[in-house]
Amino acid sequence: MLYSSASHQVAADRLARHQATPYADALDRYVDRNPVQLMVPGHGGTDRGISGRLADFLGDRTLALDIPMLIEGVDLEEGSPFEQALELAADAWGARRTWFLTNGASQANRTAALAVRGLGDRIVAQRSAHSSFSDGVLLAGITPSYVFPSVDAEHGMAHGVSPAALDAALTAAEAEGRPATAVYVISPSYFGSVSDVRGLSDVAHAHGAPLIVDGAWGPHFGFHPELPESPARLGADLVISSTHKLAGSLTQSAMLHLGDGPFADRLEPLIERAFAMTSSTSTSAIMRASLDIARHALMTGEEAIGRSVAEAQRFRDMLRADARFGVVSDAFDRFDDIVDTDLLRVPIDLTATGVSGHWLRQRLIDSNDLHFEMATATSLVAVIGAGKTPDFDFVMRALVAAVESEEAAQERAANADAAPFPALPAPGPFRLSPRDGYFADTEVVAAADAVGRVSADTLAAYPPGIPNVLPGEEITDQTVAFLQAVASSPTGYVRGAMDPGVARFRVVRGH
């Protein structure tokens, strides 16, 4: 009982600390003084003039809050309100330290890649890594090897990797004399599948490597008992968190969390240096304040988040009650890498409707101004912000009306003879490092002449969104055939291609 009482008091004290929004409050105090600004930004916090249209558009207070960095009482002095906001964020997500970012999770990915280069130049990465991490690999001069995620071929979805798959990839890298100095995985996936972060961190650490988790789609994890835990509390050494996606901060705001694990002492100064290279010297105060406020909202909003979860579950039940729809995550147990599901992501199975997800998504936009996050040939994905309760009765009515429309019948007829996507080909071997391939002298050749040459570009067919060719890799005939087959499909496209039909490739001259 004494232990229970003490624990309850600790939790109460922690929650009390998180009632504050120190950085946002400091901006409020600054604005309330009505300062005269003979400094940037040029709108001056207003007094209108030629900024009148901007003030009308955003509101005078928004411009007043848009102040530069290094203001006393806001973010200048040691122990400033900004530093307090960072400390609260680290505590909220279970991190040793947190950085606020205003160039999205893309900045976090590049920062992480540059930082871990300080540990060595070899990394084992999930092949479906976001392009911004690939950019970081290029910038840092890292030589990657890859572990493939599980793929739901039916729905064109890439999920995660299992601890066993990661262990095999790390062991293979060691056997080839190139042991990894870092590991990069993705959890959750775009579709809400969650990997075994604890198991992955144990495997990475056993091989002497820190674990980077691209948790861009899980910034709300750890803030409700029915949601997965924050990766920083599960052994991840670095966590990319796209806070704006489901946690309520403004678009383009994000966080990077340093876990309190065995690599923290070595990683912290490396991150600090990399962060200085990737961050702006004119960081948006409004975006940073939105991160401070989002952290407060999550920490104090468990009841509201619970309502979001309950409504998302009710929406799942409505879909299951109609034979034309299904819930893709109901079959996640087919994949050994998936150990949990983000309940605030609802991937809808459209197979029985006979219409493509791409067609249906656009139809709902045109007819109902209803926007789903993404689509594949056979699915739609709904994203519910933490603490939000959309009108799912309206959503369900719109879905039913769309699939019962005359246009849907025409879409079904058009799709009846559609050829299935071909099997995912194995990538060609690396003949140059990604950095050397990217910066090399290049030429453009026809697809038939590209076979056997070295790519200078990253090409990824959607679905499933796994890069098929990376800079420095050899282009194979199987890859060319796969990319052109996907590109010719009405529900597929190739990101990074020089033309829609993938008729030309940019290759390294002389290779």
Across 170-187, average pLDDT: 97
The region of weakest confidence among 47-56, 180-189, 233-242, 300-309 is 47-56
pLDDT in the model for residue 5: 64
* 207-234 tens-digit pLDDT: 999 999 999 999 999 999 999 999 999 9
β-pairing, 183-186 with 122-126? Answer: parallel
Across 239-268, average pLDDT: 97
Q: What's the number of domains the chain is made of?
A: 3
Same domain, 210 and 328: no
* 227-241 tens-digit pLDDT: 999 999 999 999 999
Same domain, 125 and 223: yes
The residue segments making up the domain with residue 454 are: 434-508
476 has pLDDT over 50:
yes
Same domain, 93 and 150: yes
Average pLDDT, the chain: 94
Confidence band for 2, pLDDT divided at 50, 70 and 90:
very low
Same domain, 438 and 400: no
CB 367 within 8 A of CB 402: yes
Confidence band for 120, pLDDT divided at 50, 70 and 90:
very high
Q: How far is CA 335 from CA 124, 149, 155, 367, 385, in A?
A: 21, 10, 13, 36, 26
Position 41 in a domain = no
- pTM score: 0.94
Same domain, 225 and 153: yes
Which candidate, 327, 377, 373, 381, places its Cα nearest to that of 356? 377
CATH number of the domain enclosing 356: 3.90.1150.10
390 has pLDDT over 70:
yes
Same domain, 192 and 126: yes
Same domain, 123 and 242: yes
* 270-319 tens-digit pLDDT: 999 999 999 999 999 999 999 999 999 999 999 999 999 999 999 999 99
455 has pLDDT over 50:
yes
Q: What order do you get walking across the sheet with 493-495 strand by strand?
A: 467-469, 459-462, 493-495
Position 17 in a domain = no
- List, as one string, the DSSP characters of 294-351: HHHHHHH-HHHHHHHHHHHHHHHHHHHTSTT-EEGGGGGGGSTTEEEE-TTEEEEE-G
Across 69-74, average pLDDT: 93
CATH number of the domain enclosing 459: 3.90.100.10
Q: Which pair of tokens denotes residue 345?
A: 């992501």
Position 114 in a domain = yes
Tokens 């990077």 belong to: 256
pLDDT in the model for residue 331: 96
99 has pLDDT over 80:
yes
Out of 250, 277, 300, pick the residue that ends a domain.
Answer: 300
CA distance 477 to 416: 29
Q: What order do you get walking across the sheet with 374-376 strand by strand?
A: 326-327, 345-349, 379-383, 374-376
- For the chain, give the percent of residues with pLDDT over 90: 86
User: What is the rounded radius of gyration, in angstroms, for the C-alpha atoms of the chain?
Assistant: 24
> What is the three-class DSSP state of 158?
strand
> What is the three-class DSSP state of 508?
strand
Across 413-427, average pLDDT: 79
Q: How far apart are the first and last CA of the chain?
A: 72
- List, as one string, the DSSP characters of 471-494: TTBBPPHHHHHHHHHHHHSTT-EE
Out of 300, 317, 351, pick the residue that ends a domain.
Answer: 300
Out of 235, 268, 300, pick the residue that ends a domain.
Answer: 300
Same domain, 271 and 318: no
* 126-169 tens-digit pLDDT: 999 988 999 999 999 999 999 999 999 888 899 999 999 999 99
DSSP β-bridge partners for residue 101: 254
pLDDT in the model for residue 419: 67
Same domain, 96 and 236: yes
pLDDT in the model for residue 294: 98
Interior/surface letters 462-491, b for 16+ CB within 10 angstroms, e for the rest: bbbbbbbbbbbbbbbebbbebbbbbbebeb
Which candidate, 105, 148, 143, 152, places its Cα nearest to that of 126? 148
Position 348 in a domain = yes
The Cβ-side half-sphere exposure at 306, using a 13 Å CA radius, reads: 7
Position 489 in a domain = yes
Confidence band for 3, pLDDT divided at 50, 70 and 90:
very low
Position 62 in a domain = no
9 has pLDDT over 80:
no
* 338-389 tens-digit pLDDT: 999 999 999 999 999 999 999 999 999 999 999 999 998 899 999 999 999 9
Same domain, 115 and 204: yes
Which residues have a Cβ under 8 Å from the Cβ of 141 and sit 6 or more positions away?
117, 121, 433, 435
Confidence band for 6, pLDDT divided at 50, 70 and 90:
low
Same domain, 466 and 337: no
CB 429 within 8 A of CB 488: no
Confidence band for 4, pLDDT divided at 50, 70 and 90:
low
DSSP state of 14: H
Q: Which pair of tokens denotes residue 127?
A: 């092949």
Same domain, 163 and 255: yes
Confidence band for 1, pLDDT divided at 50, 70 and 90:
very low
Q: Which pair of tokens denotes residue 163?
A: 């601890």
CA–chain centroid gap for 408, Å, is: 32
CATH number of the domain enclosing 255: 3.40.640.10
Position 448 in a domain = yes
Position 81 in a domain = yes
